[in-house]
Structures are given as C-alpha cells and as structure tokens.
Chains A and B, each alone.
Chain A
Amino acid sequence: MADKKFAAYLCAGCGLGEVLDLGTMEKVVKREGKMQVIKRHDVLCSADGVQAIRDDIANEGVTHVLIAGCSRRAKTEAFDFPETAMARANLREGVLWVVAPGTDHDEVRQEMADDYIRMGCAELKKMAVPTGNPNCASNKRILVVGGGMSGLTAAIEAAETGYEVLLVEKEPQLGGWAAKLYKRVPFREPYAEPQDTGLAELIARVEAHPKVRVHLASTLAETAGAPGRFAVKIATESGAVTQEMVGAIVQASGFSTYDLAKLPELGGGLPSVVDQAGLEQLAKAANGGVIQRADGQAVSSVVFVQCAGQRDASGTHLPYCSGHCCATSVKQAMYFKDANPDVDTVVLYTDLRMPGMGEDFYRSAQSKGVIFTKGQVSTVKAAGTGCSVNFRDLILNEEVTLGADLVVLATGQVPNSGVNIDLLAEPAAAEQTPTDEASATPVEPAAALPPSILNLTYRQGPDLPQLKAGLTDSHFICFPYETRRTGIYAAGPVRRPMDMLQATDDATGAALKAIQAVENAALGRAAHPRSGDLSYPIVRLEGCTQCKRCTVECPFGAIDEDERRFPVFNESRCRRCGTCMGACPVRVIAFENYSVDTVGSQIKSLDMPDEFSERPRILLLACENDAYPALDMAGVSRICYSAFVRAIPVRCLGSVNTIWITDALNSGWDGVMLMGCKRGDDYQCHFVKGSELAHYRLSKIDDTLTQLSLETERVASFEVAITDSRRVAALINDYAETIKRIGMSPLKGFN
C-alpha cells in the first residue's frame, strides 16, 4: 500500500443536512483534514451512496475512507469495505440526536460536528488496513481433556461436526462419574423415574468414531503453543510420552466430591453415613434389589441431608450450591422406594431446587411416599447401629431428633481446576500486579497445590485462571465456556457445578467454541469477543525496555518472554483488547487500526476554545463494548447531554494509555471522563481484567494532576452498563457542571 489516498464522505441524511452546515464541515475536511476526495450524499447508506464509495475505491485508488454520518455501530453492513482503512465521524447519534434542538444551540452543535470531523480525519491519517496475524497456524484437531459425560459429549459432537478429536482420560476407562452411577435423573418425558445413564452407548459411539482417538490412563505432561498450533505431550502412567499437535482444547476435567472427613458434625466417617457417590455405589451393588449398607446391615429408614458442606456463608465449606444434589437425592430416595416401598425416606432440605422438568420428578417422588421437609440439620450422631439426625423442622418450627439406619449427605462438587495460578508465587511480578481485593490473599506455599491439569508452558501459570471458589470460568452469563486462555474452553462441572444434562449441553457448546477458535486461528483472526478481527498487536521491540508490564497485565496470558526478557507475542492467543498497549510505558505496542497515535492524534486535533470562551472541552474515552453503545442509545432515545463533550470509543478501558490523558490535559482539554464496564468479582468487562487495570492505573493519576497544579476532578472514571443510556447522559451533564464549577483548564494555549 504505497500510495495512500484519503476520502471523506459526508452524509446529509437523517436530518443531518438540514440541521448541520455541511459546507463548514467540507471546509474542515479540506483545509484541516487534507482529504483528497470529498463527497456529499443525501443518503450515504443507500445503494447509490455505497456504490459511489465503491467506485472511488476501485477507480480513484481510495485507500482510507472517512464516513461522516451515523455511529460506527450503525449501517455496518452497508459501509463494509474490508480493503480500506475506515473511520467514522459520529454526527447522528453523537451530535444531531444528543444536542438540544433549536437554533439557540446551533453554534455548539456545529462546533461539536466540526470537531468530530477533525477527529475522524486525524484518526484516519494514522490508520492502516489490518492484514491479519501472520503467525497463524491451521491445525484443526480438538483435544478433549477428560472422558466423563462432558468430555465424551464434546468429543462426539466435535467429531460428528467433522473435526478430528483427541481424547485424554486419566483413568484406565472412560465414563468418569457417570460410570459410577446406578441410574441418572430423568432427562426425558415423563420425568418420573430414574433413567439409565446411556453411558455405555455414548462410549461405544466415541470409541467407534473414526475421527476420535482415545488415550486412556493418560495425562497432559505439557501444553505449549497457541490456537491452531498447540503442542501437547501426553504421558501414560508408565511414563511413555507422545507429542501431538492440536488446534484447540476443551477442558472437561470434571469434579471431585467434597471430602466427607471435613463434615464430622454431620457424621462424616460413621458407617451409617455416606455421601451421594457412596450411595450410588451401594445402589449399584444392589442393582435394583434391596439396598444395604456397606457393612451389610439392612436399611429400613434413610435420611437425606441436603446442602451438606455447601452454601456455607461462614467460609468453612463450599460457598455455592452444586445444583444437581436435590434431584440426585430425589432419585436416590426413589432407589429405596422402588425396591421396597416400606423403607422410610426423608429428605431434609432448606430449599428444594429442582430446575428444568425437575418439578415432575419431585412430584413423582412424593407420590411414591418420600417425605420432604424443610429442615436445617445441626448434627448427625451415632446411635445404636444407625445414627440420629438432629434438625430444626422449619415448617413446624421445632427441634427434632430422628433415628435412621442410613444418612446420605448431599455434598457438593469440587471442580478439578488444577493449580490456582493466582496463588503461585510471582516474586518478579508481585510489585507490578495490581493489588485488588482478589489478589490481596496471601501467597500460599506451592506444596499445597493440586496437580496441574494442562501443564501449560505459559509464563502466567500451568492452568486456566479461576474465577471464584476454584471454578474455571470467565462469565456465567455473558460468555460461558470462554476462559482467559484463548483456544482453551472449559466445559462441565469444572466450569460451574451442574448435573449431567447441563454438562451435556455445556460440552456441546464448548465443542462449538473450540471449532470457532480453530477456524478463526487458521485465518489469523481474533476469537471472542472481537471474533473475526484481523488486527493484531505489533510491537517495536527496539524501543522495548523489558519492563514486563505487558506480559504481566495481559488478561489472556498471550505474551511470554524470551531469554532476554523481551515480550514474545502469541498473536493467536491474543483477544485484541489492547491492554498491553495501554500498559506500555514506552508505547511500542500498536494495532494497525488502533494505536496510541490513532487516539492521540484525535485528542490533539481539536481547535481548543480559549480560557475565557466559557466553552469547555471534555474528552470522553468510552469502552466500545458497553459505554459507547449506551451513548448511542442515549442518542437514539433523544436524551440530550452537554455539547462540550467529545467521545472517542476505545476497545477496552484497559487499552487506555495514560499518555492520552496527559496529552489531553496538556492540549487544554478541561476534563477527561473514562467510561468502562463494571470491574471486580461481578465484572462485566469483556476482557475480564481490562476495566480493573484501567482503574488501577487511574488510581495513580491524581499525583500527576497535582504535579500539574490541576484539580483531581479533571480526570474521572465511571462504570457503566450497556443499558445505562439515561445514566451516561446524566453523568456527562453532572461532569460538565463539575467543570463549570472548578473552571476552565489553566493549561490552554501552551500546545
């Protein structure tokens, strides 16, 4: 792309032509923007308008296109010119619809529009057409870690979609927990009786499938590489190691049961007390006959204690609900009732949670005579040959002691997440890692760590980052299966506690995500959430000072270090959030179409009114995932906000380099607002840690402001959600008031 040719297209549609002076804007584009082609169209997004642009690209050699009209989020299908670099000046949602109507506001409205034009031209000058990741690799085989219900499902789903699958299971046989069940909770109409697990059939399908290869009694000794080119070493128990190449990984490492020994108050360890897994074992031994205890004693009364060692707010046991245990206890009570209706079965619950069609199953158990009561169990003690259960009946509001031959504790699922990498000692990085609440926990000795599942060679640690309570997840609602390691997807109970039916759905979803990942990787494109993005971080290593901030702060562990401690970018692992770009103190990291310069030049492009003009300028750096759409929605809803604000979308607040803020203040901007997503435990950041990092960086900016003799109010950050259209307008107006109160910036006129 030797010759760059810049073109600007001004749209007069949607009322822009009537309210704004397009003539002035054309002058700005010509004199300040130095655009070579300038055109005006009444409806630019019409077939005619789009064709005019296409013709210029084809015939005039236009390489850079500025579209001044609607928001960059609108008409994306019409304005789709992948061969050019494109900037959009948001005159419709950003100016026309948000500045109060009427001729009184003509002047500020026109100023705002002119500024957006200036900013668009400035941005375009610094942009290049993304070429796609050059280091892409196209291995499309999918590795499934774990051969339980989730792993088997992921394997068969991926294989039947046409992808090669490698399945690694640490046990010498397939099946996982499902193989240890006598029967499963029904998943088909009429949802009344325990059902056969169907596992044998699934295993047979997997084993017979020509695209699936199974490694039993094997673990992963090492996982290296990136999507499209993961190199995994599969080790058998005997120590033999084979190396395989795969494109993506589904981690379905499942769960372990909560240790009964941690529940002595509930009788953990007594011969008359088992957990649900223990009862499955007894039921399997009985095989439909009368269920006996392991010591051979007959059982005429059973008590099921729900939430044993779960939903514990005290911090001693599992804090969460494992979801499946209510239905499992209902099923197990039926084992007894079906074999002998005279066995007394009591289920003590605090909340009976029977999601899906579980209500029918619950009803079925009731009609079989299983007694349910809301009760809080305090202790289970040995009594005679059985035990006595002490509980408070919450319906009858009284303390009860109930004898039983057998007590079944519904303990929870503990995810097999491997090593919690947050607990790994990071002496070199410790001082640079933000000390948020989560990582403030003391570093535990490595001896307490469980064995790693993946043994990743990433500098960030051998396993997937955990979200909370040891669960390997990114976001329950917004992006399930996603982890913070690109191309590696968690499925099943390792991700969140779940039953077999949910695990099956989950595994199917994860398999599809893995397929997307290998397909995107092969084309050099980003995975979720910027799926399909061809830009990638380009680093000018000659300027790098080896400070390691990019490697430490990358939320996705995409950046390793070489032996000279320079960063090594694994573009295929990158999600293109730009957090590294925001972190880099020497600003050597850039994307072709998004860089310190593309935003910086916009900030510096404005015609800044002087100190006495009473027309302040407020820079708004808005996350394009939530905040910018909220601003657009404010426009769509015609919610007015101050015409002194100039919004620039950023990929993530994590990509905000503090130089932008310094530049803005030095250029005479009166205030800088940052709008990003919610951070912390219940974060909504699409890049998980981006907004948190931005917040951390901003916490240091007050010192800089004080050094510049500026009020600390001149920089403010806000957490907004995509639904906050009314609120973003209010925030802007409030901030404009604040600026009015503290006065115009004293730094005007020095740039």
Chain B
Amino acid sequence: MHALRTTGHQTIPAVAARYRNNFLKEVEAHVEDGEWVKMCMQCGVCAGSCPLGAHWEHPPQELFMMIRAGKRAEVLTSDAMWMCTSCYNCVVRCPRKLPITQIMHGIASYAQELGLAPEVQPTRDFSIQFWKNCTKTGRVNEMKLTVGLYFKDGLVAGIKQVMNMLPVALGLMKAGRLNPFELLRGHSPKDQKGIAAMLKRARAIEAQRAPVTH
C-alpha cells in the first residue's frame, strides 16, 4: 500500500553533494524500497520495457543514477515517477529484481511529502482525491471519486465530462454496477472506527521514522 502522506514532517535539506552517498542514504531512509536504488546496474531494461517510456522525463534507471549522483532537486521535483501506471513490466523484467514500480511510487510519495511534487500532475491529483475519498469512511466511493475528478477543472468542464460519459453510466446502472444514490451518502464498512484507528496507528509509526540527517 503506497499511501500518500500529505503532511510534511521534516526539514528539507538544501543541496546534496554530487556522487556522495548523502541523497542515496536519504532515499534509503525515507522512500519505500529505497534501499534497492543502489543495486541498479544500469542495464536499461526497465526503460525499454515501460509502455509509457517515451513520455518519461527520466526513465527509472536514470532516476536511480540521478539519486546516486546526488541530484536531489532534479529527482524530487521531477514529473517522471508520477508517470508510472503500475503495469509492473519493469519489475517482471529487471535482472536485478528491483521493485521498480514500488520505488517509483515511493519517490513520488516522498516528493509529495516534502512538498516538492509538481503542481500540475494528473496522477498526483488523482492520488490525492483517492486518498481523501477512501480514508473518509474506509471505503472508496466510486461515484464521488469519479464526479470529483470530472469537476476538478471547474463546472463547465465537469458537465461536459458527465455528458460524455452518460451513456456508459446508464449502461452500468442498467447492469446494476452503479448506484447514483451513492452520491448522496454512500455506504461504509462495518467497523469504521477500527479503520480510523488503523490509520492513526499507521501515521504514528510513520512519524517515528528517522528524520532526514545530513
């Protein structure tokens, strides 16, 4: 589970020295599966396997090299890791068995946590909406999530999107796969309190993580 942490809790180090272990160590300490970054052997199979490869600013192996080269700002402000669609092609193919997909989400998550993620990024917007939506009750409300995404760019754009998707929505309703009344209230899991407690505990564990040191 790659939860997006929306509250920064560390001081942001200004610069990382080039080709020192500083930023690598920071990534290892704060990015999920970050300890794998040093194991990349730069074969480029991930870059060649990525179905969205052409749209990436930096392919995964280059991001790993940038981390090792101490290019902290470039990595954390990059759009690249946000482009990952979790197809896991790279993970399957990596000869060094790096959990590349997980690391991509880990870096994205860390950049978001530090407030360095790019402002306009559809994946980021979706992730934030998703997280807010599902942590509210402990269950994703698909109607609210979808409509929320449609209307994120304003009323006119939202209506257009709704009209576009209306035939699909009607079809889904006919098949019993979509309940429009979910928009009003929606249903929630039985033990909502339990889920809230779990999330609270998870945040507490996260807060105990080693702060960034230099």
Evaluate contact between B39 and A344: CB separation under 8 angstroms: no
Chain A residues with CB under 8 A of B50: none
Chain A residues with CB under 8 A of B41: 352, 362, 366, 372
Per-residue CB contact flags for chain B residues 64-98 toward chain A (1 = under 8 Å, else 0) read 01101101000000000000000000000000100
Evaluate contact between B66 and A367: CB separation under 8 angstroms: no
> Which listed residue, A344, A352, A362, touches B19 by the CB 8 Å rule?
A344
Evaluate contact between B69 and A373: CB separation under 8 angstroms: yes
Task: Known A363-B39, A367-B38; judge A396-B19 contact (CB<8 A).
Answer: no
Evaluate contact between B18 and A402: CB separation under 8 angstroms: yes
Evaluate contact between B19 and A402: CB separation under 8 angstroms: yes
Per-residue CB contact flags for chain A residues 369-394 toward chain B (1 = under 8 Å, else 0) read 10111100000000000000000010
Evaluate contact between A393 and B69: CB separation under 8 angstroms: yes
Task: Known A346-B19, A367-B39, A402-B18; judge A373-B65 contact (CB<8 A).
Answer: yes
Evaluate contact between A396 and B42: CB separation under 8 angstroms: no
Complex Cα distance A369/B19, Å?
A: 11
Per-residue CB contact flags for chain B residues 9-23 toward chain A (1 = under 8 Å, else 0) read 000000000111100
Evaluate contact between A371 and B18: CB separation under 8 angstroms: no
Task: Known A393-B69, A396-B66; judge A371-B19 contact (CB<8 A).
Answer: yes
Nearest CB on A from B112, distance (A): 24
Nearest CB on B from A306, distance (A): 14
Per-residue CB contact flags for chain B residues 38-69 toward chain A (1 = under 8 Å, else 0) read 11011000000000000000000110011011
Per-residue CB contact flags for chain A residues 388-408 toward chain B (1 = under 8 Å, else 0) read 000001011000101000000
Nearest CB on A from B197, distance (A): 37
Evaluate contact between A369 and B24: CB separation under 8 angstroms: yes
Nearest CB on A from B95, distance (A): 9
Q: Does A301 contact B (CB under 8 A)?
A: yes
Nearest CB on A from B66, distance (A): 6
Max chain B CB contacts within 10 Å: which of A342, A393, A396?
A: A396
Complex Cα distance A374/B65, Å?
A: 10
Chain A residues with CB under 8 A of B19: 344, 346, 371, 373, 400, 402
- Tell me the nearest residue of chain B to A345, going by C-beta: B21
Considering only CB atoms and an 8 Å cut-off, how many residues of chain A contact the other chain? 19
- Tell me the nearest residue of chain B to A349, going by C-beta: B42
Nearest CB on A from B78, distance (A): 13
> Which listed residue, A301, A372, A374, A393, touches B20 by the CB 8 Å rule?
A301
> Which listed residue, B21, B38, B66, touches A344 by the CB 8 Å rule?
B21
Chain A residues with CB under 8 A of B39: 363, 366-367
Evaluate contact between B20 and A344: CB separation under 8 angstroms: yes
Complex Cα distance A346/B21, Å?
A: 10
- Tell me the nearest residue of chain B to A341, going by C-beta: B21
Evaluate contact between B62 and A395: CB separation under 8 angstroms: yes
Evaluate contact between A366 and B65: CB separation under 8 angstroms: no
Chain A residues with CB under 8 A of B18: 400, 402
- Excluding A395-B42, A402-B18, 4 further A-B contacts by CB distance (< 8 Å) are A372-B41, A373-B69, A396-B65, A396-B71
CB-defined A-B contacts under 8 Å, sample of 12 = A342-B21, A362-B41, A363-B39, A366-B38, A366-B41, A371-B38, A372-B41, A372-B42, A373-B42, A395-B62, A396-B71, A402-B19
| B contact residues vs A (CB 8 Å cutoff) | 18-21, 24, 38-39, 41-42, 61-62, 65-66, 68-69, 71, 96
Across the A-B interface, give the 4 residue pairs with the lowest CB-CB distance, nearest first.
A395-B65, A344-B20, A346-B19, A371-B68
| A contact residues vs B (CB 8 Å cutoff) | 301, 342, 344, 346, 352, 362-363, 366-367, 369, 371-374, 393, 395-396, 400, 402
